[in-house]
Amino acid sequence: MNKSKKTIICIAIAVVVIICAVILKNTVFAPKGAFKEGSSGVIEYSGYNVEGLHYGFNTQQECYLKTDNYNGVKEIDVNFAETAEQDVVLSLKFFDKDGNKLTDYINATWKKGTNYCRIPVKDSEKYSGYKIMIPHDFTLDSINFSSKEGGDLKNPN
């Protein structure tokens, strides 16, 4: 085989590998149908120093992202633009149907080396929304809501 044919084959293999990597990333690590900051996903935030989608953690205040609730939600997936350098524990606090903050909460871990955290939600029909408390600097990629644990995360609308 001559050199030009080998070059074409190498380029074709590289393109296939890149396409497979993009497909894998988009289906496993960053599911589609995400709510972005400024849409109906994050309706309020507090305590962070915000620049674009980067949230700088402020230890002097309660830091949180507030989201609406969607009936039938079993899991909330928070996707970040970076991977965690260490395990970070997130807390999810609940609001009742009247908008009152409840004492109920769930902790979940954004694991070292990953760019997402999946938070299981029980009895979502009782709640009107959530406060996601992340005690760390991060760049938000998306927040997704799923109707089944470990399922495909998507926009419920």
19-45 pLDDT per residue, tens: 866 665 554 443 333 433 333 378 888
Helix, strand, or coil here: 109? strand
Residue 155 is predicted with a pLDDT of 44
Label the pairing between strands 75-80 and 64-68: unpaired
Tell me what pLDDT residue 96 has: 80
According to CATH, the superfamily of the domain at 34-146 is: Galactose-binding domain-like (2.60.120.260)
Provide the percentage of residues in the chain whose pLDDT is more than 70.
Answer: 78
Segments of the chain scoring below 70 in pLDDT:
1, 20-40, 149-157
**Which two structure tokens, joined as six digits, stand for 17?**
């590998």
Query: DSSP for 18-57?
Result: HHHHHHHIIIIIS-SSPBPTTTTSEEEEESSEEETTEEE-
> Whole-structure pTM over 0.85, yes or no?
no
